[in-house]
Each structure stands twice: as C-alpha cells, then as structure tokens.
Amino acid sequence: MAIELRTPAQVDEMRAAGQFVGEVLTALVDAADVGVDLLDLDALAHRMIRERGAESCYIDYAPSFGRGPFGKVLCTSVNDAVLHGLPHRYRLKDGDLVSFDFACSVDGWVGDSAVSIVVGTPREEDLALIAATEEALAAGIDAARAGNRLGDISAAIGGVARSHGLLVNTQFGGHSVGRTMHGDLHLPNDGRPGRGVRLDPGLVVAIEPWFLQSTDEIVMDPDGWTIRSADGSRGAHSEHTIAVTDGDPVILTARA
C-alpha cells in the first residue's frame, strides 16, 4: 500500500478544492427544503462545477461495489439511505433527513466532504443522530495528529458512537485523498488505538463517520448504488478532508 505524503506547498494547493467543496455543500444546504427535487439539487451542484471549471469525481465513477458509472455529481441519501444515494426524481418531504456527499477536483487536487440536515420539522432523534456523526468527526479530526496511528482516528470515532449507544459498520469509511478521490488508505469508523499506519505530516485523508439509528447492517438498492439500513432506521453522515501537519490538523473542506 503506497501512502503518499503532500508537501506544505501541495497542501496549500489543495485548499482551493476544499474551499469549493465547502461552498457547494453550503449552497445545497441553503437550497434544500420541503418540495425541492433531488435532481434539482444535483443540477445545482453540476452548474457550480461548470462555472468553477472544476471536475466531478462522481459522474464517471465506477468502483467494484457500484453499478457504474454513477452518472451524477452528488450523492443524496434520504432517511434510511445513508451512503452513495443516487439522485432521482424525488421531492423532499417535511421531516426528511438528507445527507449530501460531494467530491470534485480543482486544478488537479480533490476535496471530499459530506453533511446531513433535516428539512422542515425535525425529529429529535434525527438531530441527535446527526450531532453524533458531527461529534465523531470532530473527535476523529482531533486524533489526526503527527505521531498518532490510523487506529487512533478510528478508535475516536467508534468511541463516540458507543457513547451514544450506536453500532458501527466498518465496510465503508474514510480514505486518503490527493489527485484522486479514493487513495489506497482505508480509514474504518472503529478500531484499536495505537494500531495501523503512522500519521505523518503531509498525509491528507477524508474522515467520514456515518451511523444508523438502530443497526450496523446495510442493504443495497436495486439502483446498484444507494446504501440503506437493513432495518429501515435512519442514517446520517458527516465528512471532511483534512491534512495532518506538525501542529493541529487542517480542515481543507471547512464550510462558512
């Protein structure tokens, strides 16, 4: 497994992609509302990509686990869907929990990030689930320090999940980021501290905790992409691309 480290100058170059990804997610959160169609949100992201001169990481994406190519520029996962939601003709309803996952390349560097929100009137349990993913993301980022190990990030995420009584699925998780969206490094959302690859300055990874309310079992939709909870419970997903430095980790996809 090749672990690529970026120079400080390269990390600075990656900030443009991260900033743009944050801008798109902010625009999507602002646009999402009861009655808004998922395809219109995908079109918004697509328009922003064209205007920026960026390149989608999703539209031609065809990994072994999906029925590729993906064909859209945005993942929209609603309610019991939690990952890789393929945008389709669906108007958001009051109380829907929706996760947006977006990645693109700017000037040859990739940014990848995700956010979950509730449109309309929220359920308290949905807000609590979203907050748990955000807390786990913050804990994972805080553990992404030079000298630590990959397992320290995973353990921090898993510890937050357990503190909220949540189960953790480790089939899909974070990954290294660079010239492509998914590097060789896989970062599961649970693990043992002190284990795994050493974190050195210049390592850039996407940390992405995602949790389901009452299970860790998942099923695939007939569309070959959308991943849902096996028991119909809702899911939430939070993600940032970060860089390990000699000091505090740097969030490259921070949103205003």
Q: What is the pLDDT of residues 126-173, one digit of tens each?
A: 999 999 999 999 999 999 999 999 999 999 999 999 999 999 999 999
Amino acid 100: pLDDT: 98
CATH number for the region 8-251 comes to 3.90.230.10
Binding-site residue numbers for a divalent metal cation are 101, 112, 175, 208, 239
pLDDT at 19 over 90: yes
Question: What's the average model confidence in pLDDT over 193-213?
Answer: 97
Q: Which of 179, 145, 251, 147 is nearest to 208 (CA)?
A: 251
pLDDT at 1 over 70: no
**Quick one: 40 exposed, middle or buried, by C-beta within 10 A (0-12, 13-18, 19+)?**
middle
Tell me the pTM: 0.96
Mean pLDDT over each residue of the chain, to the nearest integer: 97
How much of the chain exceeds pLDDT 90, in percent? 95
Q: How far apart are alpha carbons 158 and 16 in whole angstroms?
A: 31
pLDDT at 214 over 80: yes
Residues 6+ apart with CB under 8 A from 88: 38, 39, 223
Binding-site residue numbers for substrate are 84, 182
Spell out the domain ranges in the chain: 8-251
CB atoms within 10 A of CB 34: 13
Question: What's the average model confidence in pLDDT over 89-94?
Answer: 98
Q: Which of 214, 125, 123 is nearest to 168 (CA)?
A: 214
Is residue 91 a contact partner of residue 119, using CB atoms and an 8 Å limit?
no
pLDDT at 65 over 90: no
Binding-site residue numbers are 84, 101, 112, 175, 182, 208, 239
pLDDT at 64 over 90: no
- Tens-digit pLDDT profile for residues 22-32: 999 999 999 99
